[in-house]
Amino acid sequence: MNIEDFTVEVKEYEKNWNDDNCPDYVVEEYVLEYLPKIPYSDYDLKNVLSKRTISLLLEEGSKIINSKSRGGRVTQIREGKTVDLSYLEPLYKRLFEQWMAAGWLERKKDPESDAALILKI
Q: How far apart are CA 79 and CA 82, in angstroms?
A: 8
Q: How far apart are CA 11 and CA 86, in angstroms?
A: 26
pLDDT confidence of 77, banded at 50, 70, 90?
Answer: confident
State how far the alpha carbon of 81 is from the alpha carbons of 38, 73, 75, 77, 78, in Å. 32, 16, 10, 5, 5
Task: Report pLDDT digits (tens) over 81-116.
Answer: 999 999 999 999 999 999 999 999 988 776 555 567
pTM score, whole prediction: 0.87
Task: Report pLDDT digits (tens) over 9-39.
Answer: 999 999 999 999 999 999 999 999 999 999 9
Weakest mean pLDDT among 23-27, 53-57, 71-75: 71-75
| pLDDT for position 89 | 93
